[in-house]
Structure 1
């Protein structure tokens, strides 16, 4: 049997506590006073932002460029950054998302979402020894690729990046209810294919 897990029940383990956010804000304020302190932020978030962009480009050289551009813009705009009760990373994700969107709009190319196989296995629940699993995974990938970009963005941020709806709404500049509705649409489309029992 193969079915989609309830993506609304995802672990919030990666979400920061209020104390962690407050501690992070001290680092941001230090970087505002002295740009050399921005290195702490860069080291902390480089890998997350790089992987986020790589998933959207499937091109390491392009990802290097867009990641560099993201951190450069963050550094240049740091003094304008205003704390809104969210992790600083939400602001970095917003800049990164905008950089990726600008790239694709400029090049007029179809957007890419490169999904790691191990993460796909986290989306689905399956019994061991299912000989049809490879075919089902291919259907899942095809179904995900058919999702509209705005829906896929929310699915990616919620599942792959484990962001709260409040963060997603900030990153994509949409309402929280809009983010939830997009995720609901994605889940419903996936369930259409995967909430059935597959023949052995």
Structure 2
């Protein structure tokens, strides 16, 4: 490990090599160099995307910590270091926006509750239709929808909990919602 690790610790290593050093050796010096190089760029990206100063700082740190934790997933043949880090940053920003949106959800107005027996029956039939449509989904898709919509988990949280790649989680949610939409098309 000594000679290979020393090669990664060289000051002139590029970001790809620094991420690989983190992945293979948990190289703190490589991480420090990568952090110094990318944290300001990532923070600027978050600021341009509308984040507040303290939120941009926090998300930039969270992004670089994710780089440390996920360095083993980096493949320089599939993406450059910046593209890979940007993707992590973008996904964290989306997750942050979702959390903010859910934090500001206003509970339904009791005045909008069904007032006639017909409205109450329609609401119950609607719920039953959704339940039947959910039962027709493959188990993996139903589970992901339950986590996403009923437990309000972010895509990243679901991926981590189920041990799946983030792209798999997103595609299963998309396929499941398309199937639900198809099952509920004629229903009003």
TM-score w.r.t. length of structure 2: 0.43
Flag the structure with higher helix content. Answer: 2
Max Rg structure:
2
Q: Which has the higher contact order (CA 8 A, sep 6+)?
A: 1
